[in-house]
Structure 1
């Protein structure tokens, strides 16, 4: 994997704020379109324009990164898989915030949080963004479908929480093909994130207990009577 050049690093720093704003604008515009179906057409068109403008920012950033990388198209896609997925799937574009948060943490060449804290922080941020975006997407496709059990945003949030935590009570489930595809993706992400958080927390506990065992009781310390 090629190391980032100085031009790529400068571009990363320059695009931190625009990408963060574009992510929030996209999520806000999409949320308004889904949660306010009876909105005045003028405002709906404005929200649509906001989401398209945000997508244009992502597409422009992706094109510049491709140009600066000097890689072929296939190799660039393999080495920038998250960016490619975010560009293609609107549902995942808010996850761009996670990568931006990582860049900000490393701005001084040293993360401000420990490894375990970073894993849990990033996982929590990802779960929140993915759950909110997934709930919006499922509501958009399920609302009004024959036999649907997801009718309100509260229903979709409850379903997203069940799915991401892999609980799956089954009281509300998607019935449309698109809704079920979204469910499969969220199940996979939920298993991965839950495993990352659990593994990180377990490692932190083991490391803490190991340090305590190495210290030993006061009576066993060197020079103790």
Structure 2
């Protein structure tokens, strides 16, 4: 843990030294400063992920399925992160607990929310088990939402293909109708030019 903290601290100091306007850079990276100053809060660096979600929301927010996907991903990450912190807080001081660091807590939360449950990490406290039950229920709900979103996307793709094929068919029919209309006009003009000619005979012949 201290090795990781040292790397973050060195990275922060190097960027601060290399910045052209150090005061402005420092004020723009206060969160990084507090995270470096408080090494036990390093897991909060994961909150940077939500900045990415905000950007993705602006990019894909116009489509309903895009918004749903963003919300599902954001909710999943937040749920895993908070559940990992909660179970770590409950399990770390307990005797015979296997969940003693944040990495193990994240792994446990991921395998629980996906309903995999390898069984390598099991909460032994009442609080930890309550967190596990809540995470399982939320995981089932998220799986249902993901499946419904995927099914909706597949149906939309099939509808797009069918619509394209229908448009091509309508275009071909329109072209054929125009050709038939042009032939009728040409035939009418031929009849007017040679009214004595029988139907189907070339113009100028009787």
TM-score interval (norm. to shorter): 0.5 to 0.7
1:205 matched to which residue of 2?
154
1:116 matched to which residue of 2?
65
Inter-partner Cα distance in structure 2 for 1:147 and 1:185: 23
1:133 matched to which residue of 2?
82
Inter-partner Cα distance in structure 1 for 2:82 and 2:73: 14
Cα shift readout 1:46-86 (whole Å, capped 9, x = no counterpart): xxxxxxxxxxxxxxxxxxxxxxxxxxxxxxxxxxxxxxxxx
Kindly state the Cα deviation for residue 188 of structure 1 after the two structures are TM-superposed. Answer: 0.7
| TM-score of the aligned structures, taking structure 1 as reference length | 0.50
SS at match of 2:124: coil
Unaligned runs of 5+ in 2: 1-30, 177-206
Kindly state the Cα deviation for residue 152 of structure 1 after the two structures are TM-superposed. Answer: 1.2
Instruction: Tell me how large the CA RMSD over aligned residues is.
Output: 3.5
| TM-score of the aligned structures, taking structure 2 as reference length | 0.54
1:160 matched to which residue of 2?
109
Counterparts in 2 of 1:166 and 1:213: CA distance versus 1, 3 Å: same
Match of 2:132 among 183, 187, 195: 183
1:78-97 alignment, distance < 5 Å: none
Bigger radius of gyration among the two: 2
Structure 1 residue ranges (4+ consecutive) displaced by more than 2 angstroms after TM superposition: 31-36, 217-225
Inter-partner Cα distance in structure 2 for 1:120 and 1:197: 8
SS at match of 1:186: helix
Kindly state the Cα deviation for residue 156 of structure 1 after the two structures are TM-superposed. Answer: 0.3
Inter-partner Cα distance in structure 2 for 1:32 and 1:196: 36
Cα shift readout 1:174-222 (whole Å, capped 9, x = no counterpart): 1100000000001111111121122112101101211211321776333
Counterparts in 2 of 1:209 and 1:203: CA distance versus 1, 3 Å: same
The answer to which structure, 1 or 2, has the higher relative contact order (CA under 8 A, 6+ apart) is: 1
Inter-partner Cα distance in structure 2 for 1:175 and 1:184: 13
Inter-partner Cα distance in structure 1 for 2:71 and 2:163: 31
2:100 matched to which residue of 1?
151
Kindly state the Cα deviation for residue 149 of structure 1 after the two structures are TM-superposed. Answer: 1.4
